[in-house]
Amino acid sequence: MADSEVFTSVDSLREALQSENNDSKTGFFPTMGALHHGHLALVKKVFEHADVVVVSIFVNPTQFNNPDDLKKYPRNLQKDIDLLKTAGKVLVFAPTVEEMYPSSYKELELDLGALGTVMEGKFRDGHFNGVVNVVNRLFEIVEPDLAFFGMKDFQQLAVIQFMVNQFSLPVEIVPCEIIREESGLASSSRNARLSEKDKEEAVVLSTSLRIAKELSGVFPPIKVKEIINEIIGRSSLELEYFEIVHPKTLLSISEWMPGSQACIAAYCGDVRLIDNMQLTEF
Ligand code: PAF
């Protein structure tokens, strides 16, 4: 096990980063903790691309539109740190809310257009404003050369890339494949709140996406949406949305195109889960 270091203040993290070799590449993976094997796989990927690896663990309150969801979000810092140590020497940044948002903090304003209003944006008011603010603040603190984001949060990835382009931020965004359980269920910190039975039922999300992919060569998007709505309707999950969208604009499409993307969100009990899949080749 390598010695990872944990920093709770911006100054201490910056001091550590400044003591690194000037030529070293910093790879950054922002997280909200409750780390699982999917995160670990991603941290290993960061190690392949960077000399200095920074992982932040911060449950960002400003991106939760539902206070109950924020309260119930799984937290286990010590377990997270122990898991990260198994990957190598990681600089762990685990700030407090006050450290991230001091009274002098000035909120970043960015009009995301449709990217911020469809799907997650429609159901989680203010969510992406919170994400954009926290990620921009973390980028200012860490100044990474590369930043890694999981593709499970497909819309978040599009939003972050948009922010980076809009502000010409000097960071390369590296999208990372979705890590799945053997059952097909997308790995997520929220899975920690699912019982074994819930997990079995939640598999309908990935199954539906796979069915949608198979049907993409057979039926138009509208018909595929209808079929998937029916399948989820017969399950115990409560569907929030199933959309087939343009891979860049994230607007709903009525005809297949290269890289057509399906995105889904549903409640399994009181746990909100999301997943997505590329349905057609680029
Ligand atoms: O994807 C997440 O875990 C969060 O949205 C992020 C990017 C760490 C910002 O809080």
pLDDT of residue 209: 98
Percent of the chain with pLDDT over 90: 98
Q: Are strands 90-93 and 52-57 parallel, antiparallel or unpaired?
A: parallel
6-20 pLDDT per residue, tens: 999 999 999 999 999
In the structure, what pLDDT confidence band is assigned to residue 150 with cuts at 50, 70 and 90?
Answer: very high
State yes or no: pLDDT of 3 exceeds 90. Answer: no
pLDDT of residue 1: 52
In the structure, what pLDDT confidence band is assigned to residue 204 with cuts at 50, 70 and 90?
Answer: very high
CA gap 53, 43 in Å, rounded: 8
State yes or no: pLDDT of 275 exceeds 90. Answer: yes
Relative to the CA of 58, which ligand 1 atom is closest?
10
CA of 160 to the centre of ligand 1 (A): 10
Fold of 5-176: Rossmann fold (3.40.50)
Ligand 1 pocket by Cβ (under 6 Å) = 30-32, 60, 63, 131, 134-135, 153, 156
Residue 242's H or E segment, with its range, is strand 238-245
Mean pLDDT, range 124-143, rounded to an integer: 98
CA of 105 to the centre of ligand 1 (A): 19
pLDDT of residue 4: 78
In the structure, what pLDDT confidence band is assigned to residue 201 with cuts at 50, 70 and 90?
Answer: very high
Q: Which of 29, 32, 70 to mutate to test the pocket of ligand 1 (most atoms within 8 A of CB)?
A: 32
State yes or no: pLDDT of 244 exceeds 90. Answer: yes
Rg over alpha carbons for the chain, rounded to the nearest Å, is 19
Sequence spans of domains, the chain: 5-176, 189-275
Strand order in the sheet with 26-31: 5-7, 90-93, 52-57, 26-31, 146-150, 172-176
Relative to the CA of 160, which ligand 1 atom is closest?
7
Q: What is the CATH number of domain 189-275?
A: 3.30.1300.10
19-28 pLDDT per residue, tens: 998 899 999 9
CA of 219 to the centre of ligand 1 (A): 35
pLDDT of residue 2: 59
pLDDT of residue 22: 86
Mean pLDDT, range 169-193, rounded to an integer: 97
Q: What pTM value is reported for the model?
A: 0.96
Instruction: Tell me which residue has its CA closest to atom 3 in ligand 1.
Output: 31
Relative to the CA of 131, which ligand 1 atom is closest?
9
In the structure, what pLDDT confidence band is assigned to residue 243 with cuts at 50, 70 and 90?
Answer: very high
Which residues are tagged catalytic?
39
Mean pLDDT, range 40-48, rounded to an integer: 97
CA of 59 to the centre of ligand 1 (A): 8
Question: What's the mean per-residue pLDDT of the chain?
Answer: 97
Instruction: Tell me which residue has its CA closest to atom 1 in ligand 1.
Output: 31
CA of 24 to the centre of ligand 1 (A): 25
Residue 219 CB partners (closer than 8 Å, separation 6+): 227
